[in-house]
Amino acid sequence: MATSSAVAVRRPQSRFKYVIFSILGLMFLFVLWNNERFIFDHSHPDWTYYFPVRYMLIPHGLGGLAALLIGPLQLSSRFRTKHVRIHRILGGFYIGGITLAATMGSYVATVHSSVPLRIFTYVTAITWLLCAWTALASVLKGNYQQHRQWMIRSYAVTTLFVTARVAFALPIIKRLGPSASAEILWTILVLTLIFTEFGLAWSSIFGRRRLPARTATAG
């Protein structure tokens, strides 16, 4: 009975995870088409804007892409159980990708962004690095529960690569114009962190409370 109930609990969680990653995958494809075409189509207006920092964008983009693609595998319990060695190797690339993307993104913002966007980039980069490196420190100490939670937090920040670009493509956001970019980005970051914490606390808040085991008494 215990095994069947555990499977029943896992199945809805697994389905929800697949739905989230499927949505992220579709959003990623949209972002590639809508936002990143300038890499190949140099007639795109964004090419002119990013041209002065084009070489610095390469490590930033590759690091973020690595983290975005590796993250779902790292968060898969099935993959982690079956491929422990690969999980550890990919974890190194994941942390490295975040470190590279965050540091290069901060540098690009320093030389090529307005002050409000620069401040947002610094705070996001620090948050991203803290989550990723805390996840690493947790697993090195053998605290796997904390490791998983900080990995989820770090990947939530990683998804800003996609969610922010999709948000800016929405007509209602477009109407606000570039002057509202910083405020919109701050809103997305705060909501991302809030929903992540809510998701992590979901089972403890809404899950079934386990009854304490009864102790046998001598009669």
With a CB cutoff of 8 Å and minimum separation 6, the contacts of 41 are: 47
pLDDT tens per residue across span 116-145: 999 999 999 999 999 999 999 999 999 999
Q: Where are the alpha helices (DSSP H) in the chain?
A: 2-34, 45-50, 54-74, 77-82, 84-112, 115-140, 144-158, 160-169, 171-174, 181-206
Tell me what the mean pLDDT of segment 91-115 comes to.
Answer: 95
pLDDT digits (tens, 9 = 90+) for 174-217: 889 888 899 999 999 999 999 999 989 877 777 666 555 554 44
| pTM recorded for the entire structure | 0.82
